[in-house]
Amino acid sequence: MKIYYDQLDDGLLAPIWMLLPIHTLEWQLERFYVSFNSPYEQFTTNVFDAKPLYIIVQMEDLFRNWKERESIGISLHSIHKRFNTNNEELIISDIEYMLVRILDIEEVLQMNIQSLFSFVETNNEMACLAKW
């Protein structure tokens, strides 16, 4: 998982995007869950890599996981349905990441998760753990 940060008007870096690698995703499932306790890499948007193909997860693809407060559910069925409705072919092997807006996650969960992904300045490779 990667978290991309952007600078706000006050100069602070805030989490904007969550990128989820999909190479191990089982697309035949209807849904999957993302834990906020997973290790993640942090990047600023000025180093955003536009080369890989992304699929944008929309707010209606997200749902609350009532069994685990520290996670969000993503409906793979909803994503497939959207592509089929638009007569677009979803070629899974070409896509590397799912892109999820942090604000959409917060809206669905009705809670602030930005504090879980506070930007940590390090000299090492940027790998962090969410502060749940």
What is d(CA 70, CA 132) in angstroms, rounded to the nearest whole number? 7
Q: What is the total count of domains within the chain?
A: 1
pLDDT of residue 86: 63
pLDDT beneath 50, residues of the chain: 124-127, 130-132
Spatial neighbors of 113 by CB under 8 A, at least 6 apart, are: 36, 102, 105, 106
pLDDT at residue 61, as a whole number? 97
Q: What is the pLDDT of residue 16?
A: 93
Tokens linked to 73:
């559910």
The domain in which residue 33 lies consists of 2-129
Residues 2-12: pLDDT tens digits? 999 998 888 88
Contact 118, 104 (CB under 8 A): no
Q: Are 57 and 18 in contact (CB under 8 A)?
A: no
> How much is the pLDDT for 52?
79
The SS3 call for residue 65 is: coil
Residue 110: which residues within 8 A CB-CB, separation 6 or more?
none
The pLDDT of residue 123: 52
Alpha carbon distances (Å) from 46 to 6, 7, 8, 49:
8, 10, 13, 9
- Please report, as a single letter, which amino acid is at residue 36: F
Read off the pTM. Answer: 0.81
DSSP 1: -
